Chain A
């Protein structure tokens, strides 16, 4: 639905050049919620603004719904933009118009008649749950309500695509959740394709099917969230399900287990302990329900060396679990790393006490 090919954007100021996008190629399939994660300055904002050409790329192409936007004339581009909704971090509502008036703007731009506008605005107000606020002005609304107006406005011309530019970054966690729930519902009911950018891992975790991590203008990692989870070297997965540093220990084998979906229904830890008569010590776990499936990572310790535990590990792998054996502490890596952490942690505790 959205496809960018080799996008590059270079900003030139008087004496320096900043490469905001460096060869970014993304594909967002129809009906998917795709999240681009990155710190501020990573180029994600430039990326989303390039998708509807608010920002012209220095090179590369953008295709939305099968039309190459970068090849269109100004007039054709405006026509295409009617079908690409966008919502913003700071909502960008007209302060001089009430809620209904704000939602009507894109309809006016599209040349929709007055009667049809009134009907459509009422429908959109219901859709985002703001029926009773039609006559309120943006200044009288809470952040969450403003974003709902923004969403209603973005959907006015029945777009197939919705772009969300840090749409929840100005909202508190609870409101963020309600807005994300709304987006998820809209995707289901309207078949929207959603591209969102955020610096909040929670946003990606709670609604995205796929995600990309951006750094210094480049996409350093991307894929479906479940696939990313399967990759032991995935930084996105590691950030989503942090297990921390492994505790130094001798005489045990430490495993990082990643599970994605159905396996968790099966109580593998207790089965493991019972069947192979091994002691299982859970060192850490981060589990979440993603798109209705239980996914996450768990770190466990088994008594004995790796050689002693080949059979139980084989059993876990047979269950469809991904098992990574951590042996860093034997090489002396972790003990060296850990004490360096401790002096930082201790004074904090003292201060709090």
Chain B
């Protein structure tokens, strides 16, 4: 494909990828962060120890993580349609709809990373906060999240990159993005140039995300 034709396609695909990944990450943090923290708090010996709840949450997270993304994507089609219906467009097709399965895949992934990060916060700090009269929400905010922040940012970076990878399957449900462009034009049309350009753009995106993530994480850490 000539460069003049490729450029607008690439531009659209880039915007679609950013839209999908952006919304997905927003929702993933909103759901995955509390879920990850809850996994720590409800565990045996945690601040809100409820082992049965912990077991259930852990199980759900594991189920979410067991699916290969392609299968999850297809299996979720009815669910996706239902969720999209809540927003007034009952469809399982398109870039907006793709956000649903992406989020379903990313939440458990991110939640486990959050759990690991929060667990690494020194117990002594929690104890010190308790001794100061802090309530559980205050401990979560001022101690657990704040102290785990550099590590949480690293986890977020890993998750963004994973979601960019998952978004390549978007073509399966008629959504766009860079991955779709590479498969449809590059692979199915034997267009090496499109393939090459898309891959290069993806590499640049992933590198940029990692670079920014590392930088922010380092700035937040005062160890």
Tell me the A residues contacting B by CB distance below 8 Å.
52, 54, 78-82, 84, 86, 88, 90, 92-98, 105-106, 108-110, 137-139, 153, 163
Contact = CB atoms under 8 A, between A and B. Distances in A.
B188 interface: no
Contact of A92 (B124, B134, B146): B124
Nearest to A55: B127
B138 A109 contact: yes
Interface of B: 122, 124-125, 127-135, 138, 142-143, 146-147, 149-150, 220-223
A94 B130 contact: no
Contact of B132 (A96, A109, A137): A109
Nearest to A140: B222
Contacts of B125: 92-94
Given A92-B122, A94-B147, A105 B132 contact: yes
B146 A96 contact: yes
A105 B147 contact: no
Nearest to A98: B222
Given A54-B130, A78-B134, 9 more contacts: A52-B131, A82-B132, A86-B128, A86-B131, A92-B124, A95-B221, A109-B134, A109-B138, A139-B223
Nearest to B148: A96
- Nearest first, the 5 A-B pairs at minimum CB distance are A81-B133, A92-B128, A137-B222, A92-B124, A86-B131
B132 A95 contact: no
A108 B131 contact: no
A330 B67 CA distance: 85
Contacts of A92: 122, 124-125, 127-128
Contacts of A137: 222
A97 B132 CA distance: 16
Chain B interface mostly helix, strand, loop or mixed? helix
B133 A110 contact: yes
17 contacts: A54-B131, A78-B135, A81-B131, A86-B128, A88-B128, A92-B124, A93-B125, A94-B125, A95-B147, A96-B147, A106-B132, A109-B129, A109-B142, A110-B133, A137-B222, A139-B223, A153-B132
B142 A78 contact: no
A54 B127 contact: yes
A108 B128 contact: no
Contact of A96 (B124, B127, B134, B149): B149
A92 B139 CA distance: 14
B222 A81 contact: no
B138 A90 contact: no
Contacts of A86: 128, 131-132
B80 to A, nearest CB: 39
Given A137-B222, A139-B223, A81 B146 contact: no
Contacts of B132: 81-82, 86, 105-106, 109, 153
A117 to B, nearest CB: 14
A56 B62 CA distance: 34
Contacts of A88: 124, 127-128
Contacts of A109: 129, 132-134, 138, 142
A174 B78 CA distance: 70
Nearest to B123: A92
